[in-house]
Structure 1
Amino acid sequence: MTLSRIELADWRAVHSWASLPQVCRFQTWGPNTEEQTRAFVATAVDAWAYSPQQRFAYAARTEGDVVGMGELHVRSHHLGRDHPHDQVPHPQASSSSRPDRDTAGPTGTGGLVSPR
Structure 2
Amino acid sequence: MARRKLSRKSSSRKALLKSLMISLFKNERIETTEPKAKEAQRSAEKLITTAKQDSQNARKKAMQVLNDKEVVTKLFNDIAPRFEDRQGGYTRVLKLGPRRGDGAPMAILELVE
Give the alignment's TM-score, normalised by structure 2: 0.28
Which structure has more relative contact order (CA 8 Å, sep 6+)? It is: 2
Higher helix share: 2
Structure of larger gyration radius: 1
